[in-house]
Amino acid sequence: MTRPAQPNFKSHLSEILQHALHEVAPAEQDVSIEFARPKQASHGDYSCNLAMQLAKPLRQSPRDVAALLIKAMPASPHLEKIEIAGAGFINLFLKTSAKQQFPRHVLESGSKFGHSDSGAGKKIQVEFVSANPTGPLHVGHGRGAAFGASLANVLATAGFAVEREYYINDAGRQMDILALSTWLRYLELNGAVIAFPGNAYQGEYVRDMARLIHKAHGNRYLHQPDLLFADLPPAEADGAGEAQLDSLIANAKKLLGQDYAYIHNFVLTEQLGDCRNDLMEFGVVFDTWFSEQSLFDGGRVAHVVQLLEQKNYLYQQDGAMWFRSSDFGDEKDRVVRRENGEFTYFASDIAYHLNKFERGFERVIDVWGADHHGYIPRVKGALQALALDPAKLEIALVQFAVLYRDGKKASMSTRSGAFVTLRELRQEVGNDAARFFYVLRKSDQHLDFDLDLAKSQSNENPVYYVQYAHARVCSVLEQWGEDPAPLATADTSLLTSPAELALLQRLIDYPETLDAAAKELSPHLIAFYLRELAAEFHSYYNATRFLVPEVPLRLARLALIAAIRQVLVNGLTLLGVSAPDKM
């Protein structure tokens, strides 16, 4: 479907300044053209420092360069005037008539307002959450889910063909620990006295799974605990007991034989199903759920290790096989196959990322917890060793959110079971507050989640504040009582007050905000924008009569607030937040 024409003034101004740059400084084409929003309306709608960047190479004063650039700029139907300010800033003033046309553009475009074709249909993958299916999702996972889903939505509005993927870590040691933990609880249900390991999974959900197995199969999987706990290695000096846990897993596999696969698959299916349902209820849906185990079953892990070996990027030491990741900026080399012959998680991760590009993605975005920062050089290094462009893999780091309840920090340890689940958070504050609060900060910044604020119905609660703006517009239009469709053709030249011009500028800013959010992988910019738009609207609402006797002015103001309502809906939808008509 062809979208109605939507002027992007920043893009337009960039084009005419690029033309001037070519005329004035043809040897400096790599200089970036950037715009800032002046704090005072008297300084214009956009300000550019291009002249100041060119002053040194051209050996002229910035103000003289600014004059040359302005002279070389093609005429623009949208510009009222251009001024040189301060040390050489170029301040650009839009025509009032150019701003006044925006309610029409918004209302004609509807849900497509702000969308662009800058992505040109390029195939892009966003992989996010990808939490080990070893327990319920906690509030830390929730931030990655909200960020990843919002980011994927933003990239789709920019014209990319986006695929959302969840990588299931179903082949590693953590799943074995969960299977063992569940089986031990099952043995207890059959009357066995168990010295339950402190480093196994402790949550009540483990007991719940054990009860399900016991209810369905009785004592079918019962074995003598003495055999399970026989010949364990001594406790480790640090008291962690990981070696003992590995021995318990090995003994469990030996005792259960083929039945171990049932226990393992049961707990995987239960936890993965719970995760999928939790995310769907949170408004987070994936196109693909990719199994790590499939990489082993299909021989992809062995294949990629063989490829690296053929390219002389692997070497043997102490019985293990190492990847020369230090050649690619990593702090040290990394093991891809242990001395016992088992491949490492890193090896399967290399195979997984090779598979992504083999599936034809032109860009791959991984959303990782900030604690995985050190993992970036080795993965990019492996891609480079495989003759792939590491720049096509982008990593968006997400700091875990820290939840505060009654002023106290809540623990989030999955093995101990003392964590606050995403489901519990959603039940307490609602999906809307959770989704909005999670993207209120740049993803790699620390986030304290204030429960009391999220539940409050006040102007201090940002999601309530934005949703209330939408509800207020709906209330005015309901009082008016007529069909809003003709508002797209209202005479908006009557919108001349400073508050109205400021709101028109906010509408203009929306497509530019979406563009920046897509380029910078920063959906928080949309949350910021919505708060600012809501703030200006509330001020306008409190000071303005809309259903005035003068019909043209009434329709102009209604067109403006109807356009604001549409932009609020569009932005909230990208963030996975509802736009209620009444509050």
For 416-468, the pLDDT digits (tens) are: 556 788 998 999 999 999 999 999 999 999 999 988 899 999 899 999 999 99
pLDDT digits (tens, 9 = 90+) for 306-315: 999 999 999 9
pLDDT digits (tens, 9 = 90+) for 96-155: 999 999 999 999 999 999 999 999 999 999 999 999 999 999 888 999 999 999 999 999
Q: Report pLDDT for 30.
A: 87
CATH number for the domain running over 9-94: 3.30.1360.70
Return the SS3 of 35. Answer: strand
Domain range annotation of the chain: 9-94, 173-272, 301-360, 458-574
Q: Report pLDDT for 240.
A: 60
**SS3 per-residue string spanning 157-208:** HCCCEEEEEEEECCCCHHHHHHHHHHHHHHHHHCCCCCCCCCCCCCCHHHHH
Percent of the chain predicted with pLDDT > 70: 96
Q: Report pLDDT for 416.
A: 53
* 511 has a pLDDT exceeding 80: yes
| DSSP-assigned beta bridge partners for residue 320 | 317
Report, as an integer, the average pLDDT of 215-222: 96
pLDDT band at 258 (very low <50, low <70, confident <90, very high): very high
The burial of 117, by beta-carbon neighbours within 10 Å (0-12 exposed, 13-18 middle, 19 or more buried), is given as exposed
Mean pLDDT computed over every residue of the chain? 93
The burial of 340, by beta-carbon neighbours within 10 Å (0-12 exposed, 13-18 middle, 19 or more buried), is given as exposed
Q: How far apart are CA 12 and CA 208, in angstroms?
A: 60
pLDDT band at 474 (very low <50, low <70, confident <90, very high): very high
Is there a common fold for 9-94 and 458-574? no
* 414 has a pLDDT exceeding 60: no
Q: Report pLDDT for 564.
A: 98
Q: Report pLDDT for 42.
A: 86
Report, as an integer, the average pLDDT of 401-406: 81
Q: Report pLDDT for 233.
A: 84
Q: Report pLDDT for 418.
A: 61
Among candidate residues 226, 242, 152, 156, the one with its CA nearest the CA of residue 193:
226
Give the type of residue at 176.
D
In this structure, of 279-293, 405-419, 435-449, the range with the lowest mean pLDDT score is 405-419
If residue 317 lies in a helix (H) or strand (E), which one and from where to where? strand 314-317
Report, as an integer, the average pLDDT of 21-34: 92
What does the DSSP 8-state code read for residue 129? -
Q: Which CATH number does the domain 458-574 belong to among 3.30.413.10, 1.10.730.10, 3.40.50.2020, 3.20.20.140?
A: 1.10.730.10
Q: What is the pTM of this model?
A: 0.92
Q: Report pLDDT for 404.
A: 80
What does the DSSP 8-state code read for residue 490? S
Q: How far apart are CA 296 and CA 288, in angstroms?
A: 18
Q: Report pLDDT for 230.
A: 87
Structure tokens at 365: 């975005």
Report, as an integer, the average pLDDT of 371-389: 95
Q: How far apart are CA 560 and CA 489, in angstroms?
A: 11
Dihedral (Cα; 434, 437, 443, 445), 10-degree rounding: -130
Q: Report pLDDT for 407.
A: 79
* 26 has a pLDDT exceeding 80: yes
Query: Looking at the chain, how many residues does it have?
Result: 583
Q: Report pLDDT for 41.
A: 82
pLDDT digits (tens, 9 = 90+) for 521-544: 999 999 999 999 999 999 999 999
404 phi, psi to nearest 5 deg = -120, 125
* 238 has a pLDDT exceeding 70: no
Q: Report pLDDT for 2.
A: 46
The burial of 67, by beta-carbon neighbours within 10 Å (0-12 exposed, 13-18 middle, 19 or more buried), is given as middle
Beta-carbon-side half-sphere exposure of residue 313 (alpha carbons within 13 Å): 24
